[in-house]
Amino acid sequence: MDTIFALATAQGRAGVAVIRISGAEAVSATSLLCGDVPPLRGVRRLYDRLGELLDEALVLRFAEGKSFTGEEVVELHLHGSPAVVSAVLRCLGDMPDLRQAEAGEFTRRALENGRLNLAEVEGLADLIDAETESQRKQAVRVFSGALGVLADSWRTRLIRAAALLEATIDFADEEVPVDVSPEVLALLDGVSAEMLREADGVRIAERVRDGFEVAIIGAPNVGKSTLMNRLAGRDVAITSEIAGTTRDVIEVRMDLDGLPVTLLDTAGLRETDDLVEGLGVARARERAAAADLRIHLSLDGNEPHADLGPDDLLVRAKADLRAADGLAVSGMTGLGIEELIAAISLRLQDKVGRIGIAMRERHRVAMMRAIGYMDAAGTAMRTGDAMTDLVAEDLRSAIRAVDSIVGRVDVEHVLDEIFLSFCIGK
């Protein structure tokens, strides 16, 4: 396998820049730069092939099997000058046994060498992209191997169930003193129930990763854009006394108590003969219906302008101009904004509380596939409609579905898509 190298830190000026080299020629390539490569770590001067000093760097050496990739790895911790980094990369690129790493290639080698499973790779990708505290916690949970541990637990119990059935097949001509059906069915019911709980939480986990949507809806000129600007902390929407000013959906990404939230300012909901405004109203209704939560803003605080969902909020607008009971805000003065943010956060945190460990649609599909096989096996055992060897095959199929979660089988078609999200040097 080729020896690869890449800048592992961000481009641009910095205090320190790290170049990673991984593969069988990592140490010999480094020796061409500094001569004596330290057995573990040490400060060395780096020279080009003409003997010109490039930089003084901290050189770290990782033995095969103990590095991130599982291969022999050397890291060069340079001064973070773009000129220094370019010069060292150019020297490495001139070496015949080295090549520039592709996007995600270091992590892909970690997967191929058994240092990470596929779920941990996905967790690492999400950790790199994490912008909020909830995203970080969710990614760390998967990257640390929690999903792999859970999948191994399911796999162990399914193998136990399959082994019990296989025993009845192997000894079909003999008298088997114990009926294995109760234990097998109990194992299947337990695994299936756990998988269903995990599958139900995947959509919310995806929302934590990609962001919740909160739509502000209401009649024209009720103060939606002013409220949007107040929540965003800057002028992102045009406000005026003219009804129908907002024609399209305006989006603002923000961190709300550690949760990623996209606020949607929508066109005022009303009947109109204006073609362009009518398109805006239709789009507003469509985006609001798809949002995770809607703020129904009105002057009286009682009449929603769209169907009221279980997590939606009825909010009285322009609270600075009239006394109001309940949840009321003023986008102009900021009155009631903290209470509104707390109410939104409470509802979203309640959703987050239903998250398990699985966090991607791929995980959900694999779990539902496994549940389907287990349901078929359980039904056949309870009704006696199928032969034991067919039930055992259903269990083997369920085990393969579980194995696909962590990448033991059937993963080649998803690898390229996953590693495209990684930067060069990771």
Q: Work out the pLDDT band at 401, boundaries 50, 70, 90.
A: very high
**Cα angle 103, 108, 113; round to 5:** 155
Q: Is the pLDDT of residue 333 over 60?
A: yes
Q: Is the pLDDT of residue 421 over 90?
A: no
d(CA 244, CA 249): 12
How would you classify the pairing of strands 41-47 and 250-256? Answer: unpaired
How would you classify the pairing of strands 313-316 and 293-298? Answer: parallel
- Reported as a single tens digit per residue, the pLDDT across 186-229 is 999 999 999 999 998 898 888 888 889 888 888 777 777 888 88
- Reported as a single tens digit per residue, the pLDDT across 290-316 is 888 888 888 865 565 666 777 788 888
Order the strands of the 212-218 sheet from edge to edge. Answer: 250-256, 259-265, 212-218, 293-298, 313-316
**pTM for this predicted structure:** 0.71
The contacts of residue 101 (CB under 8 Å, 6+ apart) are 4, 5, 6, 20, 22, 424, 425
For residue 117, give the 3-state DSSP assignment: coil
- Reported as a single tens digit per residue, the pLDDT across 72-107 is 999 999 999 999 999 999 999 999 889 999 988 999
The alpha carbon torsion through 109, 113, 114, 115 (nearest 10 deg) reads: -60
Order the strands of the 98-100 sheet from edge to edge. Answer: 41-47, 53-62, 73-79, 16-22, 3-7, 98-100
- Reported as a single tens digit per residue, the pLDDT across 232-277 is 776 654 444 444 444 467 888 888 888 888 888 876 665 555 566 5
Q: Is the pLDDT of residue 164 over 50?
A: yes
Q: Which residue has the tokens 């010069």?
A: 87
pLDDT value for 306: 62
Q: Which of 210-224, 342-356, 411-425 has the lowest mean pLDDT?
A: 411-425
Report whether 315 contacts 297 (CB < 8 A).
yes
Report whether 330 contacts 231 (CB < 8 A).
no
Which residue, 145, 140, 2, 16, is CA-closest to 69?
Answer: 2
Percent of the chain with pLDDT over 90: 35
Which residue, 70, 88, 116, 114, is CA-closest to 8?
Answer: 88
**Cα angle 346, 348, 354; round to 5:** 110
pLDDT value for 97: 86
More confident residue, 407 or 157: 157
